[in-house]
Amino acid sequence: METQPLPSEKELVARLKNNDVALFDQVVKEYHSSMYAVAYAIAGSSIADEVVQEAWISAINAIHKFEGRSALKSWLIRITANEAKSRLRKESRSVSLEAVNENWATDTRFTQRGHWAEGNPEWDMSSPDELLSADELKDCLKKHIDRLPDNQQQILNLRDIGGLDMETICNILQITASNARVLLHRGRDKVQQVIAKFQRTGEC
Amino acid sequence: MLSCKHIVDLGTDYLDQELGFWKKTEMKMHLMICRHCRRYMKQLKQTIAMLSRWQLKQPTQEQLEQLKSKYQQTVSEG
Ligand SMILES: [Zn+2]
């Protein structure tokens, strides 16, 4: 579902300030998914939709003041993150690396000496399009991503699905860059394992 | 010596160029001789590419219409 690419930042912002509804429509479709991933990661699924709508409304109200010092997308993501944080009533979730390291010690993919126990076969489906065309696999991935520890799930949504940069993520989650990379890698590794198993056995 | 398990563990640091010179060199050497880890690194990149393309959530028609009318109203007054 490829749409036309958006115009350059400068033109984009100028036209948005000038009541270009068709372009606004395109911008919403283009950035909604990333904004949703960020809202979801910070505020949870029950209010993520609301947060995104509120963020768009804040953006619409402030667009005439937007000076283009950052990219429009970063600006929208920042508004979304702020909106999400202001709605969050729960205690902020703490980052624990202990559970992560425990799992690592008992990873059955490897022998005691750290070799692949049964090798690592090539994937039949490998391009993003191929992988994303398999609905069963997507459902399976959603299920497993939902089961990831909160902080791994958050960072996978913020970084890989939402496209936020690591520095901003560290600010939002209040964690160090090296912790962020460990959590991100655990999440990605899990997704890799789910895809690998699905390709090997056809099962979730 | 880095084991395969170590290589798998360092995947994201390697891709983000966060490894020191010696770790990186060790990892490159391991990848040269181990096809299982080579495949893992390829699959990790494919995993990330898939995640970044995953349009997990599109706005509903209703949400879109609501925002468009809000936009038209606000910006034309502005
Ligand atoms: Zn290896």
**CB < 8 Å to B6, chain A:** 114
**A90 in any annotated domain:** no
pLDDT of amino acid A91 = 44
In eight-state DSSP terms, residue A91 is: P
pTM comes to: 0.82
Which of A62, A85, A108 is the last residue before a domain boundary?
A: A85
Last residue of a domain, one of A61, A85, A109: A85
Residues A78 and A103 in one domain: no
Q: What pLDDT digit, counting tens, does each position of A125-177 carry?
A: 889 999 999 999 999 999 999 899 988 999 999 999 888 889 989 988 889 99
Judge whether B30 lies within some domain: yes
8 Å CB contact between A58 and A38 = no
Q: In terms of domains, do A75 and A118 share one?
A: no
CATH assignment at residue A191? 1.10.10.10
Token look-up 């930042």 returns A9
What's chain B's length in residues? Answer: 78
Expressed as residue numbers, the domain containing B58 is 4-73
What is the number of structural domains in chain A? 2
pLDDT tens digits, B9-59: 999 999 999 999 999 999 999 999 999 999 999 999 999 999 988 888 889
B46, part of any domain: yes
| Residue A1 resides in a domain | no
List chain B residues with CB under 8 Å of A122. 39
Task: Report the candidate in A26, A37, A36 with the shortest Cα–Cα distance to residue A1.
Answer: A26
| CATH number, domain with residue A79 | 1.10.1740.10
State whether ipTM is beyond 0.90. Answer: no
Is A3 within the bounds of a domain?
no
One domain, residues A106 and A154:
yes
**CA A132 to ligand 1 centroid distance, Å:** 28
State the pLDDT at residue A194. Answer: 96
- A55 lies in a domain? yes
Mapped onto helix, strand or coil, the DSSP state of residue A116 is strand
Residues A161, B56 contacting (CB under 8 angstroms):
yes
Q: What phi and psi values does residue A116 have, to the nearest 5 degrees?
A: -60, 125
Residue A111 sits in the same domain as residue A54:
no
Task: Determine, yes or no, domain membership for B78.
Answer: no
Out of B8, B54, B64, whose CB is closest to A189?
Answer: B8
B77 pLDDT more than 80: no
Specify whether A79 is located in the same domain as A130. Answer: no
Task: Give ∠ CA A184-A188-A193 in degrees, rounded to 5.
Answer: 150
| pLDDT computed for residue A102 by the predictor | 57
Q: Report pLDDT for A94.
A: 47
Q: Residue A92 domain-assigned?
A: no
A26 located within any domain:
yes
Same domain, A153 and A104: yes
Residues A69 and A101 in one domain: no
What is the token pair recorded at B1? 């010596």
- Round to whole Å and give the CA distance between A156 and A158: 6
Domain boundary, last residue among A59, A85, A111: A85
Half-sphere exposure in the Cβ direction for A65 (13 Å, CA)? 6
- Give the model's confidence band at A100: pLDDT under 50 very low, under 70 low, under 90 confident, else very high: low
Range of the domain at A142: 97-201
Q: Does A3 touch chain B (CB under 8 A)?
A: no
Q: Are residues A31 and A67 in the same domain?
A: yes
How far is A169 from chain B, CA to nearest CA, in Å?
15
Q: How many degrees, rounded to 5, is the angle at CA B77 between CA B74 and CA B78?
A: 80
Same domain, A16 and A106: no
Q: Are residues A164 and A111 both part of a single domain?
A: yes
CA separation for the pair A21, A18 (Å, rounded): 9
Q: Among A26-35, A97-106, A123-132, A165-174, which stretch is predicted with the lowest mean pLDDT?
A: A97-106
- What is the arithmetic mean of pLDDT over A77-84? 90
CB of A147 within 8 Å of a chain B CB? The answer is no
Contact B8, A189 (CB under 8 A): yes
Model confidence at A3, pLDDT cuts 50, 70, 90, reads low
What mean pLDDT is reported for chain A? 88
Amino acid letter at B4? C
Distance CA B58, CA A49 (A): 11
For residue A168, the tally of other CB atoms under 10 A from its CB is 17
User: A184 and A106 in one domain?
Assistant: yes
DSSP A160: I
| pLDDT > 90? residue A56 | yes
Based on the fold, state whether residues A107 and A188 are members of the same structural domain.
yes
Whether residue B42 is contained in a domain is answered as yes
Q: How many domains does chain B have?
A: 1
Inter-chain touch B11–A36, beta carbons under 8 Å? no
Separation of alpha carbons A50 and B77, rounded Å: 25
